[in-house]
Chain A
Amino acid sequence: MEIDSATNGNSDAVMTESSATITSSPVVVPASRSNQFTESLKLEHQLLRVPFEHYKKTIRTNHRSFEKEVSTVVNGVGELADSDWSKDVTVSRLTSLVTRLQGLKRKLEEGSNVENLQAQRCRARIDHLDSVDVENITEWNNTKLKRILVDYMLRMSYFETATKLSESSNILDLVDIDIFREAKKVIDALKNREVASALAWCADNKTRLKKSKSKFEFQLRLQEFIELVRVDTAESYQKAIQYARKHLASWGATHMNELQHVLATLAFKSTTECLKYKVLFEPQQWDVLVDQFKKEFCKLYGMTMEPLLNIYLQAGLSALKTPYPSNSIKFDVFNCLFSASENKVAESNFSKRHPNVIFTGGLRLYLDMSQIWF
């Protein structure tokens, strides 16, 4: 079909010719093509969901702070009415309440501005999805490719590259750089063995986490407890017990087994050789926490755990039918890039009737394709 033959020869360097071909051909779109658009648009859940969640969160936080302030003011009035202060004190108190309200007004205005920006971003994405058309499908796919790359870079924490790419291709509205930065702060703190920012994040998103019955906060508290036990002085044991009373007891109802398991470390010290309890003191526990955070974070924002790149690449390579490279030199290169077991699976997959290779080790097709002359 003319539209896609242009896709083949199209690199960013080849300029007007491809678009000229598209617009000059009569726009007779077979039903299958437009079906394909709708189908591929349906995959863009993450694109829309993430800014909406962010917007929702901002609305919620703003409302909560408003509620708090206003109720403090009203309570202040009530208190004044009840008590018996002198006139001057009353006057000064009332004035302070007024200034507080004025401050709140300003804050809310700022909050409203932030919300508007976020709403704009949501709208920009809806517009972007709407804009896909027969004529600009290559352009749209190019943007999609860049979006997928930025998503991968953000997950790998290559922030500078991600920002550069999004700025140069004008897709800042379509990517979620600041959200990932937020996550990185928490992850860095966790890697530094500090639970403070992670706990703050949990507090921020308390209701959502509760709704999804997440035990992430519990795990964080457990880790803090273990760190206290690790110190191994009488004082730290005291602290640990107090900490457990304060923070861990409430989780006992739902997670008693785990609680008991960890509390038992009070008996076994951090230098224990008993495997069951030794594992709790391993530094890898922090990595477990980091992974758990990533999972919770992605779930909250409606993002996939896997980078989009992996998902699309797997799907694409499974569908592309190319035979093994006949050039044996390339085959050796392929062999040393992947483990032997993956090779075997790939070999057994590449078979007779349906040569759709399941993706395991499918990156070898990347090498294959360098042999392909279109």
Chain B
Amino acid sequence: MDVTGTVTVRDAFDRVSKKQKLYHSVTQDVIDLVCDGIQDTLTRIQLGNDDGVEPESVLTELRRKLDALLPIIQLQKSHKETKWSLSKLVKLLEVSYHPDISLACFSVDFDINLVNKILIHHCYREGLFDVGDCLVKEAGREEETEVRSQFLEFHQIVDSLKLRNIEPAMRWIFANRGKLKQKSSKLEFKLLSLKYCDILREGKSDDALEYARTHFTQYPLHFKEIQKLITCLLWIGNFEKSPYAEIVSLSCWDKVTKELIMEYHHLLDQPINSPLKVALSAGYESLPSLLKLVHLMALTKQEWQAMKQLPVPLELGNEYKFHSAFVCPVSRDQSSEENPPMQLPCGHVISKQSMMRLSKNCAFRTFKCPYCPAETLASACRQLYF
């Protein structure tokens, strides 16, 4: 990690605060000086009559003294130094940091309502319920009660799983049994086996057996897992040596929690990660390149705002690739609804339009695959789905 950027800024800032401290001590000194001078004059005047000293002369003396000290009093030097170091700091900032990242913006009107809705959903998703409610109030939007209750339930389930309490999770599973069965989810059984393993780890074999008898009998389909779990009884107190160390370990809780999170979101038809988070993380990565592009375009006198399409693709990491994309090797077009990839019997894949063109749109006309010399018919090709 490159630290030099902040190091120089930090140095500059330390310099500023040092100078400022100096300034303050000088101010205090100056005030004391002037104060003392006046006090002194005051006492002399008050006692003056006895000495026959005229108040006027004392005052003139004081004035002369103060005039002599005027530059110091005005702290010109001290304040100038602070000002100078401050301006250096600001210049340094402008150099080390991009002064205006909004250059990469296009003048687009954001639909404020939509943005607020996205923010509210994001807050609920991240468990920031009071922030979300506050935002609903301040933005004047209608309440998103459904989303809120869904995520509230979600957070309750996950929080209780952290404390190894499977009750809320089981409740949710019972409520959604039908849909979960459609996905052949094993969550129900897995949660119960987690509790069972907890009991095993505590060493209570009788309780464990009791538990198994009460709960596992409803899951005949999971007999293989049940077999393993019951066999674990033989190794009570000694799990590390057993072949089932993994099944009984605490890390299973994390695994099952993860699985539950995924299934919960699948059921709600929601992505697991907040879309806002993903979009913004993509932004963190791509903004530097965009700004470079702006700079280059300015050099070549092109209008950023008038640009219809980015001339270069912005590369993001693998984690931002969500869909596979097929680009036809013949036409260099990306596949779409109307132009899907077609697989030829020889195994090669080209887009539908290229295939049509090659076979001259006749269903019975043979054409050659562009890769290998195999001849084939348009009707023999099948659409590829991925």
Interface residues of A (CB under 8 A from B): 1, 4-5, 7-17, 34, 36-46, 48-49, 52-53, 56, 59, 63, 66-67, 70-71, 73-74, 77-78, 80-81, 84, 87, 90-91, 94-95, 97-98, 101-102, 104-105, 108, 112, 115, 119, 122-123, 126, 129-130, 132-134, 141, 144-145, 148-149, 152-153, 156, 158-161, 164-165, 168, 302, 304-306, 309-324, 326, 337-338, 345, 348-349, 351-356, 358-361, 363, 365-366, 369-370, 372-374
Whether A358 lies near B308 (C-beta < 8 A) is yes
CB distance from A363 to the nearest CB of B (A): 6
Q: How far is the CA of A6 from the CA of B138 in the complex (A)?
A: 34
Q: How far is the CA of A265 from the CA of B197 in the complex (A)?
A: 87
Which 3 A-B pairs have CB atoms at the shortest separation, nearest pair first? A316-B283, A312-B283, A316-B282
Contacts of A7 in B (CB 8 A): 281, 319
Chain A residue nearest to B158 (CB atoms) is: A13
Whether A56 lies near B86 (C-beta < 8 A) is yes
Given known pairs A15-B162, A38-B2, the reply for A126 and B322 (CB within 8 Å) is no
Q: For A168, give its contact among B27, B66, B119, B128 (CB under 8 Å).
A: B128
Instruction: Flag whether B195 is at the interface (Cβ < 8 A).
Output: no
Contacts of A4 in B (CB 8 A): 317-319
Instruction: Flag whether B221 is at the interface (Cβ < 8 A).
Output: no
Contacts of A5 in B (CB 8 A): 319
Whether B45 lies near A94 (C-beta < 8 A) is yes
Whether B308 lies near A349 (C-beta < 8 A) is yes
Whether B89 lies near A313 (C-beta < 8 A) is no
Given known pairs A74-B73, A94-B41, the reply for A305 and B277 (CB within 8 Å) is no
CB distance from B127 to the nearest CB of A (A): 6
Contacts of B82 in A (CB 8 A): 59
Instruction: Flag whether B352 is at the interface (Cβ < 8 A).
Output: no
Instruction: Flag whether B354 is at the interface (Cβ < 8 A).
Output: no
Contacts of A323 in B (CB 8 A): 323, 325, 334, 336
Instruction: Flag whether B99 is at the interface (Cβ < 8 A).
Output: yes
Contacts of A313 in B (CB 8 A): 276, 279-280, 283
Q: How far is the CA of A40 from the CA of B96 in the complex (A)?
A: 12
Whether B5 lies near A94 (C-beta < 8 A) is no
Whether B106 lies near A38 (C-beta < 8 A) is no
Q: How far is the CA of A125 from the CA of B281 in the complex (A)?
A: 21
Instruction: Flag whether B171 is at the interface (Cβ < 8 A).
Output: no
Instruction: Flag whether B98 is at the interface (Cβ < 8 A).
Output: yes
What are the interface flags for B214-226 relative to A under an 8 Å C-beta threshold, 1 for contact and 0 otherwise? 0000000000000
Contacts of B270 in A (CB 8 A): 370
Q: How far is the CA of A159 from the CA of B137 in the complex (A)?
A: 11
Whether B307 lies near A101 (C-beta < 8 A) is no
Given known pairs A49-B93, A52-B90, the reply for A315 and B286 (CB within 8 Å) is yes
Chain B residue nearest to A17 (CB atoms) is: B254
Instruction: Flag whether B173 is at the interface (Cβ < 8 A).
Output: no
Whether A63 lies near B79 (C-beta < 8 A) is yes
Contacts of A17 in B (CB 8 A): 254, 258
Whether B60 lies near A81 (C-beta < 8 A) is yes
Most B CB atoms within 10 A — which of A77, A317, A338? A77
Q: How far is the CA of A366 from the CA of B34 in the complex (A)?
A: 67
Contacts of A148 in B (CB 8 A): 280
Contacts of B3 in A (CB 8 A): 130
Chain B residue nearest to A126 (CB atoms) is: B10
What are the interface flags for B37-79 relative to A under an 8 Å C-beta threshold, 1 for contact and 0 otherwise? 0110110011011000001100110110011001001110001
Instruction: Flag whether B166 is at the interface (Cβ < 8 A).
Output: no
Instruction: Flag whether B102 is at the interface (Cβ < 8 A).
Output: yes
Q: How far is the CA of A129 from the CA of B20 in the complex (A)?
A: 24
Contacts of B273 in A (CB 8 A): 8-11, 374
Most A CB atoms within 10 A — which of B42, B94, B97? B97
Contacts of A153 in B (CB 8 A): 135, 138
Contacts of A158 in B (CB 8 A): 134-135, 138-139
Q: For B97, give its contact among A45, A71, A73 (CB under 8 Å).
A: A45
